[in-house]
Structure 1
Amino acid sequence: MTESEHRKAGTEDRPHLFIVSAPSGAGKTTLCRAVLEAMPDLVYSVSYTTRAPRPGERDGIDYHFIDAERFKQAIQQSRWAEWAEVHGNFYGTSADLIEDALRRGQDVLLDIDVQGAQSISGRYPEHSITIFIRPPDMDALRRRLESRQTDSPAVIERRLRNAEQEMAQMHRYRHVIVNDVLEKAIGELIGVIRSYRSSDPAGGVTGVSR
């Protein structure tokens, strides 16, 4: 997308929701951390979950860990911009955080799944910039999942099946980035985000898009 096309879309005059999705193992978390290091003024939306923390996860940084009763209360109070139940656990994105940031004119980075991305972009269509991170191929994704040594073979197979379903939805995203070489993918993701941020002095159009 060219700079003039951004202007025609009016995206330079409003805060953005940069919605990043990817199959498990595609490197989304690593890429988002690199974006936040490059642009620390971005608001990062930390998701809420009712599942137990995994080893090394920190409350308020990786997730906000809350109990199911509190999560369900927030559903009744319409406090989630999107939420879902996955394998018996709830996951949600705070509507308060997003709407407070938009009111202040701040851009937000969201690391959420395909279902959540559709919900957020449907609720805030004029602010949403959707970006899908994909592996170079399914064999590479399998190798990455196996190399983590955190999941059983059955769980890896389930993640691969889910990945195929998620990748079938990537045509819905405005930008698709292939994470083959990590540093290259980081540069492309930062370039896409900067191309929308007219206030970013390092901004520029990269041409990285589907």
Structure 2
Amino acid sequence: MIEEKGILFVLSGPSGVGKGTVRKALFSQKTDLKYSISMTTREKRPGEQEGVDYFFKSKEDFETLIEQKQLLEYAKYVNNYYGTPRNYVEKTLAAGHDVFLEIEVQGALQVRENFPEGVFIFLFPPSLEELKNRILHRGTETEELVLNRLKEARKEIEMMDAYDYVVVNDDVGFAVSKIQAIIQSEHLRRERIAKQYKRILEDEL
């Protein structure tokens, strides 16, 4: 019996590309993936549960974890910290579960630096025009903000070289199928299972 350690899969891409939509569609299907639970210093909202929605920490505890390098990535928004706890990810992987993290590009680059053994998937828009339309359809942003987001998207697309795979999100169903294929193929990589097979052969000799 091969006891395989889980793999960290990181889905990232520019704002408006549909990361959340693709992730929800992936998890709506039967999957053994565990979603990476973020940590935050913001107040718990009604109905939110510790260890389900977030891991809630004080600012002091969060900053201690930063100093101890116990976060795979973190950022600060409106005076609150948000980040990905290393301990939760490593424990889940050690238990044999794959972990799935959906995150912005800057955060993904931090994870790549702190956890290079992860598998990094860049979700790409069919075109910049389509990306602009998706941002506009949100109806929550001014024309100026849309243009700023598109400029930022161009910069983020140029960071694609830091990723292992690129999936074009022209259709959510197709994008999910491609991500599922990536997950399956990563588990079949020779270097991931060679040691375990060799151990089985040694036991039989």
Provide the TM-score with structure 2 as the length reference.
0.75
Q: Deviations over 1:172-208 (max 9, x none)?
A: 211101111222222212222222235xxxxxxxxxx
Instruction: Flag the structure with larger Rg.
Output: 2
Q: Do the aligned residues in 2 keep the contact of 1:50 with 1:91 (CA within 8 Å)? A: yes
Shift in alpha-carbon separation, 1:124–1:74, aligned structure 2, 3 A: closer
**Other-structure match for 2:67:** 76
**Other-structure match for 2:159:** 169
Decide which moves more: 143-152 or 113-122: 113-122
Unaligned runs of 5+ in 2: 189-205
**Other-structure match for 1:140:** 130
Match of 1:190 among 172, 180, 183: 180
Measured after TM superposition, the shift of residue 52 of structure 1 is 7.9
Match of 1:85 among 70, 76, 82: 76
**Other-structure match for 2:170:** 180
**Other-structure match for 1:8:** none
Match of 1:125 among 98, 116, 119: 116
Letter in 1 for 2:93: L
**Other-structure match for 1:112:** 103
Measured after TM superposition, the shift of residue 113 of structure 1 is 2.1
- Answer 1 or 2: which has greater helix percent: 2
Alpha-carbon distance in structure 2 between the residues aligned to 1:53 and 1:88: 15
Q: Do the aligned residues in 2 keep the contact of 1:80 with 1:93 (CA within 8 Å)? A: yes
Q: Do the aligned residues in 1 keep the contact of 2:122 with 2:165 (CA within 8 Å)? A: yes
* Identity fraction in percent: 37
**Other-structure match for 1:31:** 22
Alpha-carbon distance in structure 2 between the residues aligned to 1:51 and 1:145: 26
Shift in alpha-carbon separation, 1:111–1:77, aligned structure 2, 3 A: same
Alpha-carbon distance in structure 2 between the residues aligned to 1:119 and 1:80: 10
Measured after TM superposition, the shift of residue 132 of structure 1 is 0.2
Is 1:153 the counterpart of 2:181? The answer is: no
Provide the TM-score with structure 1 as the length reference.
0.74
Q: Do the aligned residues in 2 keep the contact of 1:23 with 1:166 (CA within 8 Å)? A: yes
Is 1:21 the counterpart of 2:23? The answer is: no
Alpha-carbon distance in structure 2 between the residues aligned to 1:107 and 1:178: 22
Alpha-carbon distance in structure 2 between the residues aligned to 1:103 and 1:89: 30
Letter in 2 for 1:46: I
Measured after TM superposition, the shift of residue 95 of structure 1 is 0.9
Specify the SS of the correspondent of 1:184: helix
Is 1:44 the counterpart of 2:31? The answer is: no
Say how many residue pairs are matched.
Answer: 184
Q: Do the aligned residues in 1 keep the contact of 2:10 with 2:102 (CA within 8 Å)? A: yes
Measured after TM superposition, the shift of residue 143 of structure 1 is 0.6
Specify the SS of the correspondent of 1:192: helix
Measured after TM superposition, the shift of residue 123 of structure 1 is 2.6
Unaligned runs of 5+ in 1: 1-11, 199-210
